[in-house]
Amino acid sequence: MPVSSWADDYDIFDHDYVANPFPVWDELRGTCPVAHTDRWGGSWMPTRYEDVSAIAHDTEHFSSREVLVTPAPEPPEDGEEMVLQLGGEVAAPPITSDPPEHQWARRLILPMFAPKAVEKYEPITRDLCRSLVQDLVAAGKGDAAVGYAQQIPVRIIAKMLGIPESMSETFTQWVRGALELGATDPEVRQEAFKEIITYLFEEVTKRKEHPGDDILSELLAAEVDGEPVPDYHVIGTGILILVAGIDTTWSAIGSAIWHLATHPEDRRRLVAEPDLMPLAVEELLRAYSPVTMARVVKEDVEVNGCPMKVDDRVLLSFPSANRDPEVFERPNEVILDRAKNRHIAFGAGIHRCAGSNLARMELRVAIEEFLRAAPEFSLEDGATVTWAGGQVRGPRQLPVVFG
């Protein structure tokens, strides 16, 4: 059904909106800053920076027990005892935890993604990017989403979890099933989560007998208040790291490559001025923020005049917040050296992305190596670029030609 009004009937999976949501957000911010829909289980969608940020900080009225943008499927039956169920959704602490549990669940994983811990993955990320882009360039053209962006984060996460690289393709399918394809098809989502849970359960069992130098083993060895971390928690956090660390970053890399393919002046500037890279990475994250999260209303509350009721779902459109003209000058332009850039692509408040150091490193290295091997490239004439949206927005088909 076509959208009758974006203010009270929006559809986050509308094909044109997924490909280009920016005009809709611009209109909503000006006319109806908290939109509503009955579609996909019903939700509210604030579009202004101030509102999105305020809700992300307000854990008193908004719970993270369901963070997916569409309602959860029934819990997988045979995975039930392995995972903590909250509101019917597979728990993935700390992203699905509220205070006070959130604090210890987050503290457990922060050291694994600290700058020093991430640094040691930079050389393998660089080698991987180099070899992927060389293959594409040698062919003269290729799909920069499938053949490049999509291949990078999954392999780094597999390394961190101590899982063979040969599982990368399977992980990619699972993560797409959990977030992208499953967002509009509960059966696909349920099946994907079941496969991930079953796999991680087996891996955790193996690590208990033969601990290794990986995140799952570290979590199993950790203690909270003198007690070991329960298996279901280790599995839940493993799910999160897989799901949060893969298509988020691949989407950010894909959008960055799309921008550089379609804006030759920015691409040439970045090639000529490589010192711009840190600012450019932040600007590309701002302009093409991939992630939208959800909250559930804990007690009746009003946001910008809109009455939200207990159990209502609220979408935190970090991508729209990051294009709010109240906060960013010329928000719809990519300004590679934008100096004032307090974007919230990684969220805000207690759930702010724990993997941001890793994401930034992967994005920077992926752009650097692509431009090094292919300073000149563009979209292939007549070829179709496709986008995924909803929870995570990014290109899924990105045909480019080199030279």
Site residues for ligand HEM per CB under 6 A: 56, 64, 67, 94-95, 106, 109, 113, 157, 240-241, 244-245, 248-249, 252, 290-291, 293, 318, 345-347, 351, 353-355, 358-359
Q: Which is nearer to ligand HEM, 109 or 200 (CB)?
A: 109
Q: Which is nearer to ligand HEM, 32 or 249 (CB)?
A: 249
Cβ-contact 118, 103 below 8 angstroms: no
DSSP codes of every residue in 113-175: GSHHHHHTTHHHHHHHHHHHHHHHHHHSEEETTTTTGGGHHHHHHHHHHT--GGGHHHHHHHH
**Smallest separation (angstroms) from ligand HEM to the CB of 130:** 20
Closest residue to ligand HEM, based on beta-carbon distance:
355
- Number of Cβ atoms within 10 Å of the Cβ of 63: 19
**Smallest separation (angstroms) from ligand HEM to the CB of 358:** 4
**Smallest separation (angstroms) from ligand HEM to the CB of 291:** 4
**Smallest separation (angstroms) from ligand HEM to the CB of 281:** 10
Q: Which is nearer to ligand HEM, 37 or 53 (CB)?
A: 53
Q: Which is nearer to ligand HEM, 61 or 106 (CB)?
A: 106
**Smallest separation (angstroms) from ligand HEM to the CB of 77:** 27
- Number of Cβ atoms within 10 Å of the Cβ of 152: 23
3-state secondary structure of 317: coil
The helix or strand, by DSSP H or E, that contains position 70, with its residue range, turns out to be: none
Which tokens is 14 given? Answer: 């509308």
Q: Which is nearer to ligand HEM, 336 or 353 (CB)?
A: 353
Q: Which is nearer to ligand HEM, 32 or 102 (CB)?
A: 102
Report residue 337: phi and psi, to 5°: -105, 30
Q: Which is nearer to ligand HEM, 267 or 286 (CB)?
A: 286
Sign of dihedral through CA atoms 7, 247, 69, 57? negative
> Max CA-CA distance within the chain?
61
Residue in 295, 281, 282 with CA at minimum distance from that of residue 370: 281
3-state secondary structure of 269: helix
Cβ-contact 376, 402 below 8 angstroms: yes
Residue in 88, 392, 27, 31 with CA at minimum distance from that of residue 243: 392
**Smallest separation (angstroms) from ligand HEM to the CB of 193:** 17
Q: Which is nearer to ligand HEM, 3 or 334 (CB)?
A: 334
Report residue 46: phi and psi, to 5°: -70, 145
**Smallest separation (angstroms) from ligand HEM to the CB of 403:** 29
**Smallest separation (angstroms) from ligand HEM to the CB of 318:** 5
